Amino acid sequence: MTIAMQWHDWLALFGQYLLLSLLSISGAITTVPDMHRYLVAQHGWLTDAQFSSSVAIAQAAPGPNVLFVALMGWNVGLNAGGGIGAGPMAWLLGFFGLMVTMVGIMVPSTTLTYFATRWGHRNRTRREVRAFKQGMAPVVVGLLIATGWVLAAGNHAGNAPAWHLWLLTGVAALIVWRTRIHLLWLLGAGALLGAVGFV
Amino acid sequence: MHPSPSGAAAPPDHPQPRSPRDLFVSFTWLALQGFGGVLAIVQREMVEKKKWLTPEQFLEDWAVAQVMPGPNVINLGLMIGDRYFGLRGALAAVAGMLTIPLVVILALAVLYAHYAANPQVAGALRGMGAVSGGLIAATGIKLLPQLRRHPLGFATCLAFVALVFGAIAGLKVPLGWVLLAVGGVACVWTWRKIAP
């Protein structure tokens, strides 16, 4: 896929990610639907397949999930340069696109968090601040368990829910809960079981 | 109540990062272990291994990181880095979490173009996804005992945990509403309980 990106297109892309950054309460993943609307439906800068593979690869790869944003920028740049086969100029544009989306999604939220948490820390003995932090504790625990559940259930998309997958998720949770085994062993075991077709 | 010990107030026996470079390396290593999200690894590395955070601090910091905009683990790294080395520490932690993983993910994206159709690759990704769900759920389960010392009492806390789980995993309520409604009630209730 080849697209034409003018400088004002890049600027608009940057502005959109600056805005989404401030809306990404509880993680960039919550802004995925809006990114799809902007990049795929409205501007046609990415194909549907490029969009969903960007999210899927970031989920499977090591590192924070927000890196899916980098892959989106990378793909927009590649498309602007005529595709990955078009040579170094396309890769350079891909890298430029990656910086545009990553800087856009990171700077506003981290700046806000930096100053807000400093304020919170200076005022940590105030009753409101303590009530907020302690009051949120049970909510956070519930969210963590729910996130694990949603991620595990997401693997079933497309095919019938498989008890093998739930068993694997449950056993992994039990082992992490009860032992101090290194987490990479568990992920490796999951990859192996998947590759040989057990799950 | 125990306001979190930190910064200059931290006791000397409390393990701390040695330098911004230590933060960068630690968070790089941490991010590279985090398949499908870094959260489970943060808890294992920062709380259980390096002990830079107590479980109580992790829970409190995580709550703040969760309600601020931006990726949660990035926010958490920013807060930990800032606490020990100010802006330099915050930048070191965030850069550590992003730089090398970014290189890795680009390499994977290029590889993926070749092997996407391979059923073994798809199966391995599925298996790793199932495991990573279990890892994150276990992170939450391991924090449950911390709630025993909560001002609202253990039983009330468990009810809040169940309510949040049901709303997110069962009813698919948008997260913002859950934080606002359930979180709001929990915070106001706690505020009343810790009256001086």
Q: Is B6 among the domain residues? A: no
Of chain B residues 6-35, which have a CB less than 8 A from chain A? 6-7, 31-35
Q: Tell me which of A85, A119, A153 is where a domain ends.
A: A119
ipTM of the complex: 0.80
Please give the Cα distance from A43 to B176 (Å, whole number): 28
Domain limits at A157?
134-195
- Looking at residue B1, what is its pLDDT? 37
Q: Is A150 among the domain residues? A: yes
Q: Is B173 among the domain residues? A: yes
Is the same domain home to A87 and A31?
Answer: yes
**Residue B10 amino acid letter:** A
Is the same domain home to B99 and B194?
Answer: no
Q: Which of A21, A37, A30, A142 is nearest to B175 (CA)?
A: A30
Question: Which positions ≥6 away from A87 have C-beta within 8 Å?
Answer: none
- Label residues B22-47 b or e (16+ Cβ within 10 Å = b): bbbebbbebbbbbbbbbbbbbbbbbb
Q: Which of A199, A11, A4, A14 is nearest to A105 (CA)?
A: A14
Provide the domain count of chain A. Answer: 2
DSSP A185: H
Is the same domain home to B37 and B84?
Answer: yes
- Looking at residue A158, what is its pLDDT? 53
Q: Do B158 and A138 touch (CB under 8 A)?
A: yes
Is the same domain home to A22 and A100?
Answer: yes
Is the same domain home to B73 and B160?
Answer: no
Is the same domain home to A27 and A90?
Answer: yes
Pick B34's closest partner by Cβ from A30, A63, A113. Answer: A63
Is the same domain home to B171 and B94?
Answer: no
Please give the Cα distance from B81 to B58 (Å, whole number): 14
Is the same domain home to B18 and B113?
Answer: yes
Is the same domain home to A32 and A85?
Answer: yes
Is the same domain home to B17 and B81?
Answer: yes
- Looking at residue A146, what is its pLDDT? 86
Is the same domain home to B171 and B102?
Answer: no
- Looking at residue B141, what is its pLDDT? 92
Min Cα distance A36 → chain B (Å) is 18
Which of A152-156, A177-181, A190-194, B24-28 is modeled with the greatest confidence?
B24-28
Q: Which of A177, A128, A121, A107 is nearest to A148 (CA)?
A: A177
Instruction: Say if B59 is an interface residue toward chain A (CB within 8 Å).
Output: yes
Is the same domain home to B90 and B184?
Answer: no
Report the SS3 class of residue A162: coil
Residue-by-residue pLDDT tens, chain B, 196 positions = 344 444 444 455 678 999 999 999 999 999 998 876 687 888 888 998 999 999 888 888 888 888 788 888 999 999 999 999 999 999 999 999 999 999 999 998 888 777 767 888 878 877 887 888 888 889 889 889 989 999 999 999 999 999 999 998 888 787 778 888 999 999 999 999 998 8
Is the same domain home to A155 and A110?
Answer: no
Under 8 Å between Cβ of B17 and B89: yes
Is the same domain home to B128 and B154?
Answer: no
Is the same domain home to A108 and A24?
Answer: yes
Q: Tell me which of B123, B142, B161 is where a domain ends.
A: B142
Is the same domain home to A36 and A113?
Answer: yes
Q: Tell me which of A119, A142, A158 is where a domain ends.
A: A119
Q: Is B81 among the domain residues? A: yes
Q: Is B41 among the domain residues? A: yes
Sign of CA dihedral B65, B68, B72, B75: negative
Q: Do A113 and B70 touch (CB under 8 A)?
A: yes
Which two three-digit tokens encode residue B52? Answer: 């830079």
Report the SS3 class of residue A75: helix
- Residues shown for chain A: 199
Sign of CA dihedral A178, B171, B160, A122: positive
Chain A hits for B114, Cβ within 8 Å: none
Q: Is B4 among the domain residues? A: no
Provide the domain count of chain B. Answer: 2
Pick A186's closest partner by Cβ from B131, B157, B163. Answer: B131
Q: Is A186 among the domain residues? A: yes
CA distances for A149 relative to A102, A140, B116, B129, angstroms? 28, 14, 26, 11
Q: Do A148 and B138 touch (CB under 8 A)?
A: yes
Q: Do A148 and B136 touch (CB under 8 A)?
A: yes
Nearest residue in B to A166, CA atom: B130
Q: Tell me which of A62, A95, A119 is where a domain ends.
A: A119
Domain limits at B33?
11-142
CA distances for A134 relative to B1, B62, B134, B146, angstroms? 10, 11, 25, 11
Query: Other C-beta atoms within 10 Å of B189: how many?
Result: 16
Residue-by-residue DSSP string for B116-163: TT-HHHHHHHHHHHHHHHHHHHHHHHHHGGGGGG-TT-HHHHHHHHHH
Confidence of residue A171 (pLDDT cuts 50, 70, 90): very high
Is the same domain home to A92 and A148?
Answer: no
> What tens digit of pLDDT does each residue of A76-91 get?
999 999 887 788 889 9
